[in-house]
Amino acid sequence: MKIVVVGGTGLIGSKLVEQLGEHGHEAVAAAPNTGVNTLTREGLTEVLQGAQAVVDVTDSPSYEPDAVMEFFQTSTGNLLTAEKASAVVHHVALSIVGTDRMPDNDYFRAKVFQEQLIEQSTVPFSIVRATQFFEFAPSIAEAATDGNDVRIPPVRFQPIAGDDAAQIVGRVAAGPPLNGRTEVGGPEQFQMDEFFHDALAAWGDPREVVTDPQARYFGGLPGERTLVPGNGATLGTIRYRDWLSHNPIGN
């Protein structure tokens, strides 16, 4: 099966291309650095020729509210239009657990809009909502840093390894369209402030984690279970401490 991975040179996309290839699929990485640009439509028609499925794991280069909304509106719209013209029979999009539960988070609102565009299209689809990736934990800590303090809310947190997320997305892409959503998360659930307290210690990071019920998560105020999947989610198998032993961060 020819599967085009849009955003295929990024963190999840590159893992996905490799894993799909190992399972015998013709996996094609599509990104600006491979001559495919979903904002300008450059290379879209050519790369989609003969494709049965498309996986969209793109991300906005800017998280500024207007820019991120414009990115997903333009990129997703162009991609869906090109897929219809090329008779693609399965559109898979990687989204985020909790997108519809934190409307004050501008990025989450843009992802909700992206999902709505996909649902309104005539292309059969699957939306995979994943929890935060282990690889992004330092970025989350950085965004929450105030001086020497890392202000984290005491909410539930269930991050997943990028390899696990890519594997699950790949299985969805190779299967029939769900015409709906599925959720994925890591095998362990934590209290977010406790996770980062232990994580920073493991990284050798001297910053202090401060438990703050009013702390924002990229501009939004998460509830107790905003960031964790519901019952029936597909769970990865890689535990954070095991992942960290092979992917050291800091000292």
Sequential pLDDT tens for the chain (251 residues): 999 999 999 999 999 999 999 999 999 999 999 999 999 999 999 999 999 999 999 999 888 999 999 999 999 999 999 999 999 999 999 999 999 999 999 999 999 999 999 999 999 999 999 999 999 999 999 999 999 999 999 999 999 999 999 999 999 999 999 999 999 999 999 999 999 999 999 999 999 999 999 999 999 999 999 999 999 999 999 999 999 999 999 75
Nearest to 74 by CA among 39, 102, 115: 39
pLDDT at 62: 87
Give the C-alpha distances (Å, rounded to integers) separating 77 from 36, 132, 195.
15, 25, 37
Q: How many whole angstroms separate alpha carbon 95 and alpha carbon 118?
A: 11
**Which distant-in-sequence residues (6+ apart) come within 8 Å of 202 by Cβ?**
241, 244, 249
Residue 234 DSSP SS3: strand
| Domains and their CATH numbers in the chain | 2-246 (3.40.50.720)
Q: Which residues pair with 37 in a beta bridge?
A: none
Q: How many whole angstroms separate alpha carbon 240 and alpha carbon 157?
A: 12
Residue 190 DSSP SS3: strand
Task: State the pairing for strand pair 26-30/90-96.
Answer: unpaired
pLDDT at 63: 86
pLDDT at 250: 73
Q: How many whole angstroms separate alpha carbon 235 and alpha carbon 172?
A: 14
Under 8 Å between Cβ of 152 and 118: no
pLDDT at 64: 92
Burial string for 7-29 (b: 16+ CB within 10 Å, else e) reads bbebbbbbbbbebbeeeebebbb
Name the pTM for this structure: 0.95
Under 8 Å between Cβ of 69 and 110: yes
